[in-house]
Amino acid sequence: DARVTQTPRHKVTEMGQEVTMRCQPILGHNTVFWYRQTMMQGLELLAYFRNRAPLDDSGMPKDRFSAEMPDATLATLKIQPSEPRDSAVYFCASDLGGFGQPQHFGDGTRLSIL
Amino acid sequence: AQTVTQSQPEMSVQEAETVTLSCTYDTSESDYYLFWYKQPPSRQMILVIRQEAYKQQNATENRFSVNFQKAAKSFSLKISDSQLGDAAMYFCAYRSATGNQFYFGTGTSLTVIP
């Protein structure tokens, strides 16, 4: 089965460090989403792309977060500088972009900022 | 924006019994899709079932079925013959015909008692 691939699966780093999370969407999927999941806030949409163009990044703290799609096979989410409150599980999801298409999720990156 | 409400933070069911998880949503749209996702402790988000709003027939997938009440804006998930592997967090989600975003509920944690 085709899957969304996220790396790394776990990341522990100190406050102030740059963090980069990567996502390889399913081949042929043209819409990519980044979510953050915490116990307190649940699933929050951070940003999403259609055909590599950012459509909405209103969920991201702009001063420290950035999301890009350098090409159709790679999406990145960067945090610089990282803070302890950024500790969460970050999910990438992709879909075909059509009406009713389900999202396919990666396994997530568990990020811990010390 | 659309909202999705899951009013049951936690549910439990005896193995082999049936359980129903509730979901309501708020929308002014007539065309949309609804989804249930399962998130086991491994944290992978797995699509369980989806329902098109214009279809009156309730979707079924093996032991999983939905009760879709469009007028009441209700979309409950029924799990029959519950198994230990069904223990997970279950998320209800909405996707409109006109937008790209998914709107997720806060989740229901299901425990299956042996």
In degrees and rounded to multiples of 5, residue A100 shows phi and psi of 85, 0
In this predicted structure, the answer to whether residue B102 has a pLDDT above a threshold of 90 is: no
Selection from A24, A5, A26, A3 nearest residue A95 by Cα: A26
Q: Are strands B88-96 and B108-113 parallel, antiparallel or unpaired?
A: antiparallel
Looking at residue A100, what is its pLDDT?
Answer: 79
Residue A18: phi, psi to the nearest 5? -80, 140
Q: Grade residue B91 by pLDDT with cuts at 50, 70 and 90.
A: very high
| Euclidean distance between CA atoms B114 and B84, whole angstroms | 7
Confidence band, pLDDT 50/70/90 cuts, at residue B1:
low
Computed over every residue of chain A, the mean pLDDT equals 93
- Residues of chain B neighbouring A97 (CB-CB closer than 8 A): 100
What's the mean pLDDT in A43-56? Answer: 92
Spacing of C-alpha B52 from chain mean position: 13
Query: B107 in contact with A at a CB cutoff of 8 Å?
Result: yes
pLDDT band per the 50, 70, 90 thresholds, residue B97 = confident
Give the model confidence (pLDDT) of A65-100 as tens digits: 999 999 999 999 999 999 999 999 999 999 988 777
- Residues from chain A that touch B100, judged by Cβ atoms under 8 A, are 31, 48, 50, 55-56, 97
Q: What is the rounded CA–CA span in Å between residue B107 and residue B92?
A: 7
pLDDT greater than 80 at residue B101: no
Mark yes or no for CB contact B101/A31 under 8 Å: no
Check CB contact under 8 Å for B102 and A45.
Answer: yes
Q: B101 contacts in A (CB within 8 Å)?
A: 45, 48, 56
Choose among A2, A100, A107, A18: nearest CA to A66. Answer: A18
Average pLDDT score over residue span B46-70: 94
Average pLDDT of span B51-61 = 91
| Cβ pair A48:B101 closer than 8 A | yes
pLDDT at residue A61 tops 70: yes
**Chain A with chain B: Cβ pairs closer than 8 A:** 47
Q: Kindly determine whether residue B47 and residue A45, on different chains, have CB atoms separated by under 8 Å.
A: no
